[in-house]
Amino acid sequence: MSVGFVYDPIFLKHDTGTHPENGDRMTATMALLEECGILNNLTRLAARAASEDEIALAHAPQYVRAVREAAEGGGGWVDPDTLITPRSYDVAAHVVGGTLDALDAVLQNEVRSAFCLVRPPGHHATPVQAMGFCLFNHVAIAAAAAVEKHGLERVAIVDYDVHHGNGTQDAFFEDGRVLYISTHEFPFYPGTGRADETGRGEGAGTTINIPMPHGSGDEEHRLAFADVVVPALRRFQPELILVSAGYDAHFADEIAMQQLSVDGYGALVAMTKAAAEELCGGKLLFAQEGGYHPVALPWCVRRTIEILRGVEPTPDPLGTVATPVPAGFDEMLARVRSLHGL
């Protein structure tokens, strides 16, 4: 069964100028995917505009209206990192609509898995606030749609962006139907994602934060997935796995201080895919979050799609870097395992 792929030139209309989160991320990635011919082997899925009611699956209706009205009024800076432009509402609505249609395609077995190459990212957007480059939380909305519209009882979100997905955590902190697992550099923006943030009420234990020390590389992330992420997925038994696919932990990406390589990311993707095949019939949806290096991001996306397709990965031009085990890593991982009984 084929791999679905979402991309639309409308994503370039969220014009942020020289901001790190700009349209060049998309054009560089699409250029590599077109050059290598991989797009010919994917099932292209359209990106439609989601309705306000669909966006409100994970956001307060008044917040959705506020973003639309801000864009219609000419836009402006929400905070020092986050810009609304005149086209931002329309673009972000298409990000959500494309992700939801990819979700439908996966759940209806039209494709086995899917990758959504979308922007702006979403995992920092809380139910009531835009922040961290993010306007609407497309992965959180997809998870909400999976349980509210499709009737799934257990949905897992794996977030390997270098930043903690505080918005996604907020959306499901008290919801035991959604397991949220995040690897992220810590301490780092946005300041959330401590190991002891584990959920509350009916969601107690279904938030799993793995706060990676500065300088964590391929082996540390592989161990985090092997010792925590995969065992947690097996215990939860999800019917669907969603991935907030941020590639800003790559060693070439200057936005952070992690040391992952394309090979390292490929290992995480392969482990997640294997878990999906074991637990939920391979139902797996990746949606773009961060990743800002003009070479590393395209190659990480290419590697991800190659693994989803089950083809031999192409060696990347950036290679790997040798890194020592960062101070505190072993203790952190042991604490996370203890907190969650893994």
Catalytic positions, written as ranges: 124
> How many Cα atoms occupy the beta-carbon half-sphere of 338 within 13 Å?
7
Q: Please state, in angstroms and rounded to a whole number, the distance separating the CA atoms of residues 331 and 336.
A: 9
3-state secondary structure 127-170: CCECECCECCCHHHHHHHHHHHCCCCCCEEEEECCCCCCHHHHH
Helix (H) or strand (E) holding 183: strand 178-185
DSSP string, 238-249: -SEEEEEE--TT
> Mapping DSSP to helix (H, G, I), strand (E, B) and coil, where does residue 271 land?
helix
Q: Say if CB 38 and CB 305 are below 8 A apart.
A: yes
Q: Say if CB 108 and CB 148 are below 8 A apart.
A: no
Q: From 21, 68, 4, select the one nearest 246 (Cα to Cα).
A: 21
Q: From 275, 258, 262, 266, select the one nearest 307 (Cα to Cα).
A: 266
Q: Please state, in angstroms and rounded to a whole number, the distance separating the CA atoms of residues 97 and 93.
A: 6
> Mapping DSSP to helix (H, G, I), strand (E, B) and coil, where does residue 188 land?
coil
Q: Is the preceding omega at residue 187 within 30 degrees of 0, hence cis?
A: yes
Take residue 29 and report the two structure tokens written for it.
Answer: 């990635």
Q: Please state, in angstroms and rounded to a whole number, the distance separating the CA atoms of residues 32 and 41.
A: 14
Tokens 């300041």 appear where? 191
